[in-house]
Chain A
Amino acid sequence: MSEIVLETKNLKRRFGAFLATNDVSIKVERGARHALIGPNGAGKTTLINLLTGVLPPSEGQVFLEGEDITSLAAFKRVKRGLTRTFQINQLFNDFTPLETVALAIAEREGVGHNLWKSVAGYDQIVNEAAALLARFGLASAMGERTVILPYGKQRLLEIAVAFAAKPRVLLLDEPAAGVPEDERHEVLQIVSDLPADVTVLLIEHDMDLVFSFANRISVLVAGALFVEGTVAEISTDPRVKAVYLGENA
């Protein structure tokens, strides 16, 4: 067994009387390709929000590389190597992809507070941003305003900007959601090409993608961890089928 990088203990989140996350204890191994699946409303995105500090948990704890980060602000978790993409793009509409990625790199390098040197003066950051954009197929679009980019390109930028923070743990919330069929391949290729040393936790509805990409799968149902296992175990588990198809198994 390899080392656990991300772990939750008895995590709960209530919205009023509704229990969106119900006592979830999950362990993600270093370098894993861990998929989080479950029917709509199972609490997958809520769990990601709790992990990244977008929402505070009602109860329970979150650990990153063995340290309790439950009460750590979201931006500090990013500093520690935990970042994410969003199901619905969260980008800077008026920025160009180049500016977006350059800022992410500047913050990672700890120079974001510098108010005297021009961004253009940071050659290394600009070069790295350019290389990253080229790698994500965004080189030709780097100077356009983000808001006018095709949706597929925005989706790639969503992953690129998260990746620019050099995460050790990357949470992908439905990376291919809403991407038109002809641009989908590009996004999926990028996801499967992510470096092996980056731990990836993926939410996805496309089972073909999940089974080909993941090496471990957790199934969430009604906020609680329903079952967890390898791809082979999950894909043949009759209970999982029942949950998805509503059959009585």
Chain B
Amino acid sequence: MSAVQQDTNVTAPSSTATAEARAAKLMKRRSRIRFFEIIVWIAAIAAYFVLPSKMLILTEIAILALFAVSLDLVLGFAGIVSLGHTAFFGLGAYVAGLMAMHFVAEPVTGLIVAGIVSGVLGLLTSFLILRGSDLTRLMTTLGIGLMMAEVANQMAWLTGGADGLSGFSPGPVLGLFEFDLFGKVGYVYCIAVLFVSTMIMRRIAFSPFGMSLKAIKGNAMRSAMIAVPARKRIVTVYTIAAVFAGVAGALLTQTTSFVSPDVLAFHRSADVLLVLVIGGTGYLYGGIFGAVFFTLIKDWLSVITPQYWMFYIGMLLVILVLIGRERLARWVEYLPERFSKKEDGQ
């Protein structure tokens, strides 16, 4: 700091003090809880009371949302495109199933173990995505996803092969809350996990680490020139994202008491990317908004046009991309920024 302060002939100290005050304010505002965040969580709680008959689809949304938020950490922050994120989701799903079957029926334990195992796979495969362009990363991640799907298919003695895993039922959450037939406990459980996970990722997003990820995405050359160790950061974030994707997969297993090879299917990786395209990247909540919109529109289309709903999903994708990614990633900025009163006179 000495180098900065020894030279005061350019600016008077008083203007430095003003700048410091303003900088502190701007930095605090950066990580402030925004209006739409409150709305999201209130809506999630309200849905439990208002839509008791829709618990299953709401649970589906919560799981997809967590999966998408975890991908946003990789895509929206570090700028790593992946077509194989479901490798971690699927692994988490299988691990949770095997845990419930052979070891501990208590779901939270299964959730944690699934997250750790997926994280290990994330750490191991992160080294494969360090080099190369977007295209090589797409191909590498796609390849890992396909390999995982085939491994699950071949190791029938462990995974049940094409039939999947069934015949297990998760015990009560924390030994207290038994899953019910209407999925009410399942929904609350998933929302609670989504909330905690999103809060953790939100913290990461506003840390120096989160900022350095956006720097790597924004300009790799400059980030190197301010001493950001890009490879180390990418390995870390990819591992963290894999943990949360694994947790999302575990939630699916635990709320459906079933694991099918579909958890590793390519379409899941594609769907989750589509969710982020819809919801916007780089602010985490895009995964939640996108999951709500994607699941509802998919549900609606498959009712009104059961045979051709994929056509409309495809059309939606084309329209979204034509409108422009820039605008998409920013639609949330048109909402009121804060729920507190204006504090500074800028």
Please give the residue numbers on chain A whose beta carbons come within 8 Å of chain B beta carbons, in ascending order: 52, 54, 73-76, 78-79, 83-84, 86, 90-96, 98-99, 102-104, 106-108, 111-120, 122-124, 126-135, 137, 139, 142-143, 161-162, 164-166, 193, 195, 197-198
* A78/B208 in contact, CB under 8 A: no
Assembled-state Cα–Cα distance A118/B1 (Å): 21
**B28: A residues at CB distance < 8 A:** 120
* B218/A98 in contact, CB under 8 A: no
Of A91, A108, A118, A197, the residue contacting B219 (CB under 8 A) is: A91
Instruction: Name, among A129, A139, A142, the residue most crowded by chain B CB atoms within 10 Å (CB to CB).
Output: A139
Instruction: Name, among A98, A117, A135, A139, the residue most crowded by chain B CB atoms within 10 Å (CB to CB).
Output: A135
Instruction: Name, among B5, B18, B27, B221, the residue most crowded by chain A CB atoms within 10 Å (CB to CB).
Output: B27
Contact bitstring B14-32, A, C-beta under 8 A = 1, else 0:
0110111011101110110
* A128/B1 in contact, CB under 8 A: yes
Shortest beta-carbon contacts, A-B, top 7: A130-B23, A115-B209, A92-B218, A120-B27, A78-B227, A104-B226, A130-B19
* A92/B26 in contact, CB under 8 A: no
Instruction: Name, among B23, B207, B212, B227, the residue most crowded by chain A CB atoms within 10 Å (CB to CB).
Output: B23
- Please give the distance in Å from A13's CB to the nearest CB on chain B: 17
A/B interface sample: 11 pairs, CB < 8 A = A75-B223, A91-B219, A92-B223, A94-B218, A102-B211, A107-B227, A115-B236, A118-B206, A132-B4, A135-B7, A193-B9
* B16/A193 in contact, CB under 8 A: no
* B27/A102 in contact, CB under 8 A: yes
* A195/B224 in contact, CB under 8 A: no
Assembled-state Cα–Cα distance A239/B215 (Å): 45
Assembled-state Cα–Cα distance A106/B214 (Å): 14
Of B5, B10, B226, B229, the residue contacting A164 (CB under 8 A) is: B226
Assembled-state Cα–Cα distance A166/B206 (Å): 24
Assembled-state Cα–Cα distance A117/B11 (Å): 31
- Please give the distance in Å from B4's CB to the nearest CB on chain A: 5
* B27/A119 in contact, CB under 8 A: yes
A-B pairs with CB below 8 Å: how many?
185
Q: Is B6 an interface residue (CB 8 A)?
A: yes
Assembled-state Cα–Cα distance A196/B73 (Å): 42
**B15: A residues at CB distance < 8 A:** 134, 139
* B23/A107 in contact, CB under 8 A: no
Question: A135-B4, A135-B7 known; A130 and B225 CB under 8 Å?
Answer: no
- Please give the distance in Å from A144's CB to the nearest CB on chain B: 10
Assembled-state Cα–Cα distance A45/B203 (Å): 40
**B224: A residues at CB distance < 8 A:** 54, 73-75, 78
* B229/A193 in contact, CB under 8 A: no
Q: Is B146 an interface residue (CB 8 A)?
A: no
* A78/B31 in contact, CB under 8 A: no
**B222: A residues at CB distance < 8 A:** 86, 90-92, 161
**B206: A residues at CB distance < 8 A:** 118-120
* B207/A116 in contact, CB under 8 A: yes
**B1: A residues at CB distance < 8 A:** 124, 128, 131
Assembled-state Cα–Cα distance A242/B228 (Å): 44
Contact bitstring B228-264, A, C-beta under 8 A = 1, else 0:
1110110010001000000000000000000000000
- Please give the distance in Å from B34's CB to the nearest CB on chain A: 15
Q: Is B172 an interface residue (CB 8 A)?
A: no
Question: A103-B226, A116-B203, A120-B28 known; A127 and B219 CB under 8 Å?
Answer: no
* A130/B16 in contact, CB under 8 A: yes
**B228: A residues at CB distance < 8 A:** 75, 103, 107, 112
Instruction: Name, among B7, B214, B219, B225, the residue most crowded by chain A CB atoms within 10 Å (CB to CB).
Output: B225
Q: Is B161 an interface residue (CB 8 A)?
A: no
**B24: A residues at CB distance < 8 A:** 120, 123, 126-127, 130
- Please give the distance in Å from A216's CB to the nearest CB on chain B: 23
**A126: B residues at CB distance < 8 A:** 20, 23-24, 27
Assembled-state Cα–Cα distance A135/B3 (Å): 11
* A134/B16 in contact, CB under 8 A: yes
**B233: A residues at CB distance < 8 A:** 112-113
Question: A118-B207, A127-B20, A128-B4 known; A95 and B26 CB under 8 Å?
Answer: no
Assembled-state Cα–Cα distance A37/B218 (Å): 31
* A193/B10 in contact, CB under 8 A: yes
